[in-house]
Amino acid sequence: MNEKSEAKKLKYQRLRDKYIYNLSERLSVIREKVKIVCSPDASQETLCELHILVHNLNGSAGTFEVKSISSVSKKLEMKLAAFIKDDVLPEKEDREIITSVLEQLEELIESTQTSDAVTLTSPDIDHRTAESSLIYLVEDDEEQAEHLRELLQNEGYQVKVFTTPDEFRKAYDKSKTKPGAILMDLVFPEGDDAGVELMTDLGLGRQHGIPVIVISVRNDLQGRLAAFRAGACRYLQKPYQPNQLFSTLEGVTGRQPEKPFRVMLVDDDPELLEAEAEMLRDVGMDVCAISDPLKTLEEIERYEPELLVLDVYMPGATGPELAAVLRERDAHLQIPILFLSSETDMTQQLLALNLGGDDFLVKPIQPEHFVLAVTARASRSRQNKVIQQRLELTLYEREREHLAINHHAGVSVTNRKGVITHVNDRFCEISGYTYDELLGHEQSILRSDKHTNEFYEGISQTISRGQSWHGEACYQNKNGKLYWVNMSIVPFLGGDGKPYQYVSVQTDITDNKLQQQELIDARNEAEQANQFKSEFISNMSHELRTPLNIIVGYGELLELSDLCTSDKKGVNYILKAGRHLTVMINEMLDIARIESGHYVFSMESVLISKVLKDSWEFVNLLATRRNISLTNELSDSCDIYVMADMQRLMQIFINLLSNAIKYNHVNGSISLSCKSTAEGGVRISVKDTGIGIKETDIKKIFEPFKRVSHDQKEVEGSGIGLSVTKVLVEAMDGKIDVDTVVDVGSTFWIEFPIYKSETGDNKRKEMTSE
C-alpha cells in the first residue's frame, strides 16, 4: 500500500474511533426516547423520533463496520417501523423486547469500545495520472488518425497511433507502460471484425483492466455486441462529436475534470456526515455537508451543487420530502438526487425515487462504491448541464432569429394536407385575415387567378417530395386585392422521410412589383411613342421634301431669269430658306431612320486620314471665307483604319469641321489629330480657337434643336447637326464628346475601335442601325 492509501487509512481509523467513542452518548439519547415510548406519554411522534435514532445507529454502525451493533439495531428499527406502519403503540410485551434490545446494544457498545478496533477498508480510488493520459489509437485511416491525434493532444493526452492490427499486436505485447485507454476501430482491410478479433486475441479490456473504446462506422447490433463481448466498455459510432469522445475518455480513464465536482451531503448524523464527506473530499470533490435538513434549500441556492446526497430518515424533513420540494422548483429540476439510507424495504425505496430521487444507495455502503456512485452521477450531471447550456444558447439564438423573422415576414405553418395550423401576425397583416379566420382553412383560399393551376401544382409537387420551394407568387387578400410575395416553403420531414408540415416564410413585395410594372409600362409606352414619332417624322419628311424640291427648283430657275433687284432679293430669301429647310429635313430623316432601326450602314475598313482630308476639302471654301486656316497637316498617326460607314463618317467630320468654322473667330484656326486610346481605339479630335461652350451647356448641344451660343442669329444652323452626329457615331460603336473653354475654343472628339493600322482589306459589311 502506498503512502497516500496509508494516510487515508489512518484518517478513517480516527473517524471510526471517534464514532465508537461517541456511541455511548448516542445510546443514552436512544435510551431516553425508549423511556418515553414505553411510558404512558408515548405517541406516534415519539415513536417516529425513536425510529430515526435507531435507523441512524444502524446506518452509521454499518458504515463504520461495527457489524454486531448494526444488525441488532436493524432488528429494533424494523420492529419500530412496523408499529409506525400499523399506527399502533408498543404493547407491554413489545416494550419488554425493546428494553432487552437496548440492553443488548449497551453491552455491545461497551465491548466494542474496549476491544481492538476493526481495520476499516479505506477507499482506494485509483487516480490514474501519467498513465491515464496515454492513449493508444488503432485506426487504419491515416488521415482520420492524424486528425484524432491532434484533437486529443490539444486536450492534453499523449497519443500513440497504430495503423494496422499487426503493428498494434507487436507493440502491445512488448510495451511496459500500459495506456489509460485504447481507441479501437473495428473495420480494417483484414476484415469487418478485425478489431474485435484483435481485442479477443490480446484479451483487451477485461484481463488488463484497460478500458477499450470502440470507434467504428458500423451501426449494426452484431458489431456492437461483438465489441462489448470482446471487452469494449464504450462504443462510439463515426462520425461522433469530439466532445463526446473527450467526455467518454475522461470517464473511463478517471482523469479528474478540471473543476472538482460539487456535492452536497445532507445527513442528520454528524459523524456519518463527516465520514461520507471525507470519502468524497479524499478523491478531490468539493463537498458541502449539512446536518440540518431544513437548511437544505437555502444551502442549495448558495452552494449550487451538481449532486445532492440525501439521507432518507431525518428529523424535521425526510430525504424524499426534501426531494419532492426541490422538484417543485424549475431551477432545481436538473440536480440529481441520491438517497443514502439503510432502508431495505423496496417499497420505501421506490416511493423515495418516485418523489424525485435518481438512485438509492443502501447503507452500509462500501466507501469505494459510494465514491464511484457519486462520481458517476456528478459527471453525468455535469455533462447534462453542458448539454443543457448548449441547448439553452441554441434556443435563445433561434428565438431571436424567430423574432426577427416575425417582425419582417409572414410565416404560416400548414399540415401535410395544406391546412393552416399556425400563422404569425405579419401573415395576418399581409393577407387581411385574422388568425381565427385562417386557422383550419387550406392555404389555397388565398390563391389568385394570376397563376395557372400548373404553377400551384408545381409548388405542391416540389414540397411534397421533401424539397424546398423558393419564388414569387401572387395571392388575393381578404378584400379581393392582389398582393405579391417572395416566398420560401420548407417541408419538415418526419421519421418516415415524408413531410408532416410545411413552413412558409413570405415577404410582401407588392410595392416593388407595382413599381417594376410601372417601369416596364413606361418603357413600353416610351418605346412605342418613339417608334410613332420616328415613323411620323420619316413619313412627314418625304411629304415635305417633294414640295420643297419644287420650291427650291423653281427658285433656282427664277434666279437665272432677269429680275429686278428687289425680286432677286426675294428669290434669294426663298432659296436660302428652302435649302435650310432641306438640310434640316434630311437630318431629321436620318435621326428618325436610325432610331426606328431602318437606317442601313455600309460598314467597311476606312482610312481616317483620307476621310478627314476629303471632309476638309468639302468645307474649305467656308473656311477661306472666314480666313480660318488648318494649322497642322495630318500626321501619320491618322493613317489608321476603323470599321465604319465611309459616307456617314464623312458626314460626321463635315458637321464637326463646319461647326469649328462657324463658331470660330474670323482669322481663327483649326487643328486635326489622331491618338490611340488606352482601350485600344483611336481618338480623332477637331480643335478650334472659337467661342467655346459654357460647361452647363455641354450636355444640351447633343440634343436636337438646342443652340447655345449667345449670338446665334448671326450663325446659320438648325441645332440638329450634333444630335445627328452623336446618333451616327454611337450607331457605329463609337463615342463622342467635347472639351471646351469659353472664349478659348473647343475640341470635339470621337473615338472608334481601331480596325487595322496598315493597309485595310476594305471588306464591306452591311449593318442596320439596330
Among 541, 659, 671, 769, binds ligand ADP (CB under 6 A): 659
Kindly tell me which of 595 and 604 has the beta carbon lying closer to ligand ADP.
595
Among 165, 367, 555, 690, binds ligand ADP (CB under 6 A): 690
The HSE-up count of residue 746 (CA atoms within 13 Å, CB side) is: 25
Q: Per rule CB under 6 A, is residue 732 in the interface with ligand ADP?
A: no
Among 183, 701, 727, 732, binds ligand ADP (CB under 6 A): 701
Least Å distance, CB 572 to ligand ADP, is 20
Contact 597, 770 (CB under 8 A): yes
Kindly tell me which of 242 and 719 has the beta carbon lying closer to ligand ADP.
719
Q: Per rule CB under 6 A, is residue 581 in the interface with ligand ADP?
A: no
Least Å distance, CB 712 to ligand ADP, is 6
Kindly tell me which of 36 and 708 has the beta carbon lying closer to ligand ADP.
708
Q: Which long-range contacts link 252-255 to residues 24+ away (Cβ below 8 Å)? A: 252/180, 252/181, 252/211, 252/213, 253/128, 253/132, 253/133, 253/180, 253/181, 253/211, 254/125, 254/126, 254/127, 254/128, 254/132, 254/180, 255/128, 255/132, 255/133, 255/180
Separation CA 54–CA 32 (nearest Å)? 12
Strands (DSSP E) found in 53-107: none
Q: Which long-range contacts link 200-204 to residues 24+ away (Cβ below 8 Å)? A: 200/230, 200/231, 201/169, 202/169, 202/172, 202/173, 203/231, 204/230, 204/231
Q: Per rule CB under 6 A, is residue 371 in the interface with ligand ADP?
A: no
Kindly tell me which of 717 and 760 has the beta carbon lying closer to ligand ADP.
717
Q: Per rule CB under 6 A, is residue 729 in the interface with ligand ADP?
A: no
Q: Per rule CB under 6 A, is residue 683 in the interface with ligand ADP?
A: no
Q: Per rule CB under 6 A, is residue 95 in the interface with ligand ADP?
A: no
Separation CA 575–CA 214 (nearest Å)? 108
Among 57, 300, 660, 728, binds ligand ADP (CB under 6 A): 660
Among 185, 604, 688, 751, binds ligand ADP (CB under 6 A): 688
Taking the alpha carbons at both ends of the chain, their separation in whole angstroms is: 102
Q: Are strands 337-341 and 134-138 parallel, antiparallel or unpaired?
A: unpaired
Least Å distance, CB 472 to ligand ADP, is 46
Q: Per rule CB under 6 A, is residue 245 in the interface with ligand ADP?
A: no
**Cβ partners under 8 Å of residue 406, min gap 6:** 424, 425, 426
Q: Per rule CB under 6 A, is residue 257 in the interface with ligand ADP?
A: no
List binders of ligand ADP among 49-88 (CB under 6 A). Answer: none
Using CB atoms, what's the residue nearest to ligand ADP? 717
Q: Per rule CB under 6 A, is residue 587 in the interface with ligand ADP?
A: no
Kindly tell me which of 85 and 713 has the beta carbon lying closer to ligand ADP.
713
Contact letters for ligand ADP, residues 639-658 (x by CB under 6 A): ----------------x---
CB atoms within 10 A of CB 366: 14
Cell 432518507 belongs to which residue?
312
**Cβ partners under 8 Å of residue 711, min gap 6:** none
List binders of ligand ADP among 707-726 (CB under 6 A). Answer: 707-709, 717-723
Least Å distance, CB 626 to ligand ADP, is 13
Kindly tell me which of 620 and 718 has the beta carbon lying closer to ligand ADP.
718
Kindly tell me which of 42 and 594 has the beta carbon lying closer to ligand ADP.
594
Separation CA 136–CA 173 (nearest Å)? 13
Least Å distance, CB 763 to ligand ADP, is 32
Least Å distance, CB 650 to ligand ADP, is 16
Separation CA 107–CA 596 (nearest Å)? 127
Separation CA 346–CA 353 (nearest Å)? 11
Among 693, 728, 732, 754, binds ligand ADP (CB under 6 A): 693
- Count of residues that interact with ligand ADP, criterion CB under 6 A: 20
Least Å distance, CB 685 to ligand ADP, is 12
Least Å distance, CB 578 to ligand ADP, is 17
Kindly tell me which of 279 and 588 has the beta carbon lying closer to ligand ADP.
588
Kindly tell me which of 159 and 724 has the beta carbon lying closer to ligand ADP.
724
Nearest to 169 by CA among 146, 188, 151: 188
H/E element holding 341? strand 337-341
Least Å distance, CB 524 to ligand ADP, is 30
CB atoms within 10 A of CB 499: 19
Q: Per rule CB under 6 A, is residue 671 in the interface with ligand ADP?
A: no
Cα 737 versus chain centre, distance: 51
Separation CA 43–CA 664 (nearest Å)? 132
How big is the CA angle at 111 (ends 61 and 22), to the nearest 5 degrees? 50
List binders of ligand ADP among 741-760 (CB under 6 A). Answer: 746
Least Å distance, CB 726 to ligand ADP, is 9
Interaxial angle between packed helices 270-281 and 367-408, expressed in degrees from 0 to 180 and rounded to the nearest 10? 70
How big is the CA angle at 561 (ends 558 and 563), to the nearest 5 degrees? 90
Q: Stretches 221-229, 281-289, 477-485, 684-692: which one binds ligand ADP (CB under 6 A)?
A: 684-692
Q: Stretches 106-114, 420-428, 485-493, 704-712: which one binds ligand ADP (CB under 6 A)?
A: 704-712
| Residue 599 three-state SS | coil
Q: Which grid coordinates are listed for 387?
A: 448539454
Kindly tell me which of 515 and 586 has the beta carbon lying closer to ligand ADP.
586
Q: Per rule CB under 6 A, is residue 672 in the interface with ligand ADP?
A: no
Contact 668, 706 (CB under 8 A): no
CB atoms within 10 A of CB 331: 10
Least Å distance, CB 594 to ligand ADP, is 15
Kindly tell me which of 414 and 655 has the beta carbon lying closer to ligand ADP.
655
Q: Are strands 286-290 and 641-645 parallel, antiparallel or unpaired?
A: unpaired
Q: Per rule CB under 6 A, is residue 623 in the interface with ligand ADP?
A: no
Binding stretches for ligand ADP (CB under 6 A): 655, 659-660, 663, 688, 690-691, 693, 701, 707-709, 717-723, 746
